[in-house]
Amino acid sequence: MAQAGSENKLNSTDQIAAQTTTQTTTRGKYRWYVLGVLSLTYAFSFMDRQILSILLEDIRAEFVLSDLQLGLLSGIAFALFYATLGIPIARLADRFNRVSIVSLAVAIWSAMTALCGAAGNFWQLFLARVGVGVGEAGGSPPSHSIISDYFSKEERGFAMSIYSLGTSLGMLFGLVMGGFVAEYYGWRWAFVCAGVPGLALALLLKFTVREPVRGAMEEMTQAGKAPAPEQKESMSDAFRALWANRSYRYVNLAHMCGVFVGYGFTVWKPPLYLRQFDLSQSEVGLVIGLTSAGLGVPGMLLGGYLADRLSTRDVRGPAWLCAAAVLLAAPVYMLALWSSDWIMTTLLIGLGIFLYSLSHAPGLAIVQTVVEPHRRAQAAAYVFFLSNMLGLGLGPVLVGSLSDGFSAEFAHRSLNAALGLVTLVLFMAGALYWQTAKVLRESA
């Protein structure tokens, strides 16, 4: 008994020592390198995910597809496995080495993106897109968990905003490169150019990023105490515990509604421009890519910065910021859709992107802050499950279906009408973020 007690005491001492070492590492410059590599990984993820949007018109012409079929390629083909596999993979990430999981995921989705270029018909391309979704399922949830163990809750909003830059930068790379390569070399080579570099990134991530100790940045650890031991619980128990957390539940639903609109615009903006304005494919890629990055990047950074500042004054601050951002973005998007001038449309869409981007990182930071460290990857996975099954999975499909239905009445502006109807969901997102703020105050 005495020997067992001595061993337990030694283990506890070793654990605290490991935590102290980890905190020293995570307070230095290396954590910014880790954040940079993970952000680059997310940018590649979003590039491989969204490059399809600039290629939709070429694919439609070659395979003779309807807007509904294009929506299925853009949405369900990717989102079905991306969302569902994210949960069991996140469960593994909450128990095993997260860096190895993300590295393998990058290699899989990159290879499948390149394989899209070899598709000979609709169903082959559909299955290749499914493969991209399978790979990307292992990307973001473990990455969120890693970031939360390198940055404290006071820094987490800005760290998440840096990571979230991958959406804007990935879109820029995908649209500009995809549009140029497709115009001069064909849409198949655009997929190859997007996929192959990711294989090198997978190796960089695996061999240069170190796995942090879970919960290393929590207050109880910083006070010199060992973190709570990893709890072995079933997947259903973990889900019930997370969903019982009202702060988590409301911010999850709010993020889902915002992403529902965001993905609808992301997928259908290039076809909207190509059908409505006299611009070439490379010009559309350049205009949309630069607009998304030029206004999305400062929106992401400012949103994370403001969320961290507001959280030090009032726990409700980040949720209020999210609510205001999406409620202001909605009417701006509506105005953009009914402009007949591509310059005015671009300026208004850019403003909408900036406003919407203010909400993205603070919402994800709230998720990581209100749940326990041993459930963080799973918490992120359920966020991505809802936002991608309903947002990415059904959003583009619904827009495509509505566009087909509106074609008789609105002709070439049927996409405008479809996107305008979907934009109304942002008002629901604002209401849910406002409810999140109320619950955060009650639980503070």
Q: What is the mean pLDDT of residues 249-267?
A: 87
Q: Looking at residue 294, which CATH number applies to its domain?
A: 1.20.1250.20
The verdict on residue 229 lying in a domain is: no
How high does pLDDT run on average in the chain?
Answer: 80
- What range does the domain containing 383 cover? 9-219+234-443
The verdict on residue 276 lying in a domain is: yes
Which pLDDT does position 444 carry in this prediction? 55
Is residue 188 classed as helix, strand or coil in its secondary structure? Answer: helix
Which pLDDT does position 409 carry in this prediction? 74
Percentage of residues in the chain having pLDDT higher than 70: 87
Q: In this predicted model, which residue has the larger pLDDT, 225 or 73?
A: 73
The C-alpha atoms of residue 152 and residue 154 are separated, in whole angstroms, by 5
Would you say 419 and 264 are in contact if contact means Cβ atoms under 8 Å apart? Answer: yes
Determine the residue type at 365.
A
Would you say 126 and 77 are in contact if contact means Cβ atoms under 8 Å apart? Answer: yes
Q: Is the pLDDT of residue 15 over 60?
A: no
The verdict on residue 75 lying in a domain is: yes
The verdict on residue 228 lying in a domain is: no
Q: In this predicted model, which residue has the larger pLDDT, 407 or 342?
A: 342
The verdict on residue 224 lying in a domain is: no
- Nearest CA to 298 among 138, 161, 150, 109? 161
Overall number of domains in the chain: 1
The C-alpha atoms of residue 268 and residue 406 are separated, in whole angstroms, by 15
Determine the residue type at 183.
E
Cβ count near 76 (within 10 Å):
20
Which pLDDT does position 297 carry in this prediction? 84
The verdict on residue 359 lying in a domain is: yes
- Nearest CA to 78 among 23, 132, 36, 41? 132
Highest mean pLDDT among 1-5, 14-18, 230-234, 238-242: 238-242
Would you say 141 and 93 are in contact if contact means Cβ atoms under 8 Å apart? Answer: yes
Rounded to 5°, the CA angle 301-303-306 comes to 105
Would you say 259 and 444 are in contact if contact means Cβ atoms under 8 Å apart? Answer: no
The verdict on residue 84 lying in a domain is: yes
The verdict on residue 2 lying in a domain is: no
Q: Which of 61-65, 197-201, 440-444 has the lowest mean pLDDT?
A: 440-444
Which pLDDT does position 154 carry in this prediction? 73
Q: Is the pLDDT of residue 227 over 70?
A: no
